[in-house]
Amino acid sequence: MSTIRLTMAQALARFLTAQKTEIDGQVLPLFGGVWAIFGHGNVAGIGEALHGVRDTLPTFRAHNEQGMAHAAIAFAKASRRRRMMACTTSIGPGATNMVTAAAVAHVNRLPVLLLPGDVFANRRPDPVLQQIESFSDGTVSANDCFRPVSRYFDRIARPEQIVPALQRAMAVLTDPADCGPVTLALCQDTQAEAYDYPESFFAEKVWTPRRIRPDESELAEAANLIRHAKKPFIVAGGGVLYSGAEKTLADFAGRHGLPVGETQAGKSSLAHDDPAGLGAVGVTGTGAANALAEEADLVIAVGTRLQDFTTGSWALFKNPGRRIVGLNVQAFDATKHNALPLVADARVGLEELSRALGTWKAPEVWTAKAREEKSRWFATAARYTDPTNAELPSDAQVIGAVQRTSSPGDVVVCAAGGLPGELHKHWKASAALGYHMEYGYSCMGYEIAGGLGVKMADPNREVIVMVGDGSYLMMNSELATSVMLGHKLTVVLLDNRGYGCINRLQRATGGESFNNLLQHTNHVTLPEIDFTAHAASLGALAVKVKGIGELEEALRQARSAERSTVIVIDTDPLASTDAGGHWWDVAVPEVSSREQVRTARRNYETALASQRVGD
C-alpha cells in the first residue's frame, strides 16, 4: 500500500479537495470553500494546511464565527444540499460561537462541516488558554456543546482517527435522510502530528444524490387513500426543493387536481401563478391555503417535518376524518401524527404515486373551490401590499414595494421577527429557490450572513435581504464580508425601534408592552441609531428613505450598484396583516391580577379544544 506522510490537518484539507459532486452533468467541488477565523487552536495546524490547498479549496475570512457558519448553511440550502462548506475556529469562544449555527443546520436538515479547534490531546500543557475544565470528567471540553446539535460528532485525538471520522462525516453530510451538521473537534496538538496516510484515502469521490424509492405496499396504500379522498390537500415542504422536485410537484398537482399549500421552507416550490398553488399554509398562511387545509380529508405532506407553524399547532386540519400521508426521506418525519408513511425521495415518490393513480383526479368541486379561494385571497392581499403615502408603512407595504421592483429570478432572504409571517403570506415567488427563509430555528441575525451564502451559491441572482432593526443589531458583521468578497447584496432594513413582532404577540396574549419596543424598556436615554452611518462604516452603500415612493427608487438604484447597499426605512411596529393566518399555541398564564390576561386565557382555553393530539 502506497502512503503519503502528512499532518492530520493536511490530510483533512487534501481529503476535502477530493470530494466532488455532479450537477447538471458538470463535476464540481463538493465543498465550495472553508470559512475560517484563526486562533491559537487552529492557526498553526489547519491554518497551514488550508494555505497549502488555497488554489483548489478557497478559504474565506469572516468577522463572526456564528455569521460565517450561517453563510455556509445558506450556501448549502441554496445549493439544494448538493454543495456545502466547512467552518474552522479556535477553541473556546470561537468554537462555542458556532453552536447556535449548528442548531440552525440541525433543525433545517442542512449539511455543514464544523471544525473547531480543541484542547491538547496529550494534556501536557493543561489547562490551556480558553480551556473549559470539568471537576468530574477529564474528557470534557467546550466542544461537547456541539453534541446535541450535531448529526455526527467526533473528537480527533490521534492523527489516524481522521480517516474513519471523515468517512463517517461524508456519509452523514450527503445522506438525504440523516443530513445535518457534522462536528469534528480537532485537538490542536493532533492537527500538527504526522502519519503515513494511504494514498487511496485521497482518491477523487463524486457524490450523487441518493433517491430513495417507495416501498410497494406503502405506495399502494397511499394511492388507495388518495383515490378515496374527496378533499385531498398537499403540503409542500423544503424536501421538495432539496429533491429538485418542483416540476414534478407542479405536474402531479395539475394532473390530479390537487391544491397545494407551502411551508416556509417549501415556498417557491410552485410559482405564485401556478393554478394549483395556494401559497403559504399554517399560522402565517394565506386565507386560500388555510380554507382548503381546514376542510381536507387527506393531507399529503411532502418533504415537511410538520412544524407547529405549518399545522397551526395541530389545530388547522379540522376535518374529523382526516388522514395524513407522510412522503419523506426520513421515517421520523413520515410517521408523525399517525401518518401513513411513504418513505421516499420527494421527486421519485410523486412520480410513482402519479403512475399508481393513473387518470384519477380530485372532484372538480374541490378544485373549483381552490381556484375561488385563491382569487379571493389575491384580492385581499393586494389591500395590504398596495402603495401608500403613510409616514410609517407596514411590513406588508414595504414587501409590496420590494416585489414591484424585483425581477422573477431574484431571491428574497429573511429569518426572524414579523417579516417571515408577512413574506410567507405576501411574497410572490416566480422561480424555485427564490424565497429563502430560515424559519426552522427562526434565528435572529441569520439574514445578512445567509444572504451572503445565497449569493456565493448563485452569484447570477439578485439577492435581497429583508431584516428588522433588532436582527440587524444582533448580527451585521458579514455585511463587511460581502463587501470584502465582492458579493453584492441589497439589504432592506425596516426600523420599528424594537422587537415589534414579539411586542404584538405580548399584547395578543394579554400582556402590556414591556421590554420589547425601545420605548418600553428600562432606559435613561433612548438610542438614536444611525443605521446608514453604521452600514457605510462597514463599507456598504447606505441610504435612508422616507416612504414607499423613495424606497422603490432606492431599490431600483441598488440593482445597478457595484457593492452591497443598505436601504433603511422607518416602519409601523403595530401594523400587521390580520387576514389569513391561523391560531398558534402560545401558553397564557392561568392566574393573573390583570383582566386582559384572564380574558386571553379564556380565549386560549377555547382554542385548545381544536387541537388534535396523537391522532
**What percent of the chain clears pLDDT 90, i.e. is strictly above it?**
98
Q: What percent of the chain has pLDDT over 70?
A: 100
Task: Check: CB of residue 344 under 8 Å from CB of residue 319.
Answer: no
Can you give the pLDDT at residue 614?
65
- Taken as a whole, the chain contains a residue count of 615
Name the nearest CA neighbour of 35 among 112, 127, 143. 112
Q: pLDDT tens digit string along 299-344?
A: 999 999 999 999 999 999 999 999 999 999 999 999 999 999 999 9
Domains along the sequence of the chain with CATH? 3-207 (3.40.50.970), 216-377 (3.40.50.1220), 386-570 (3.40.50.970)
pLDDT band at 613 (very low <50, low <70, confident <90, very high): confident
Q: At what angle do helices 65-78 and 99-108 cross, to 10 degrees?
A: 20
List the grid coordinates of 255: 394532473
Whether residue 84 contacts residue 112, with contact meaning beta carbons closer than 8 Å, is answered with yes
DSSP 517: B
pLDDT in tens, 373-416: 999 999 999 999 999 999 999 999 999 999 999 999 999 999 99
Q: Which residue has the cell 429570478?
A: 409
Q: Select from 326, 341, 253 the least CA-distant residue to 289.
A: 253
Phi, psi of 310 (to 5 degrees): -80, -40
Tell me the pLDDT tens digit for each residue of 538-579: 999 999 999 999 999 999 999 999 999 999 999 999 999 999
- Torsion sign over Cα 164, 169, 174, 178: positive
pLDDT band at 61 (very low <50, low <70, confident <90, very high): very high
* Mean pLDDT calculated for residue range 238-245: 98
Q: What is the pLDDT of residues 569-606, one digit of tens each?
A: 999 999 999 999 999 999 999 999 999 999 999 999 99
pLDDT for residue 456: 98
What per-residue confidence (pLDDT) applies to 1?
A: 84
What is the model's pLDDT at position 527?
Answer: 87
Closest CA relative to residue 241, chosen from 73, 461, 432: 432
In terms of phi and psi (left: phi > 0; alpha: psi -120 to 50; beta: otherwise), the region of 506 is: alpha
CA distance linking residue 36 with residue 164, whole number of Å: 24
**Please, what is the average pLDDT of the chain?**
97
Report how far residue 597's alpha carbon sits from residue 603's, in angstroms, rounded to the nearest whole number: 10
Note the pLDDT of residue 612.
Answer: 84
Residue type at 361?
K
Identify each DSSP E strand in 258-330 by its residue range.
260-262, 277-280, 298-302, 323-328
- How confident is the model at residue 523, as a pLDDT? 92
Q: What is the pLDDT of residues 464-522, one digit of tens each?
A: 999 999 999 999 999 999 999 999 999 999 999 999 999 999 999 999 999 999 899 99
| CA–CA distance, 376 with 202 (Å, rounded to integer) | 59
pLDDT digits (tens, 9 = 90+) for 161-218: 999 999 999 999 999 999 999 999 999 999 999 999 999 999 999 999 999 999 999 9
Strand 232-236 with 260-262, pairing? parallel
CA angle 224/228/232 to nearest 5° reads: 100
What CA–CA distance (Å, rounded) separates 96 from 471? 20
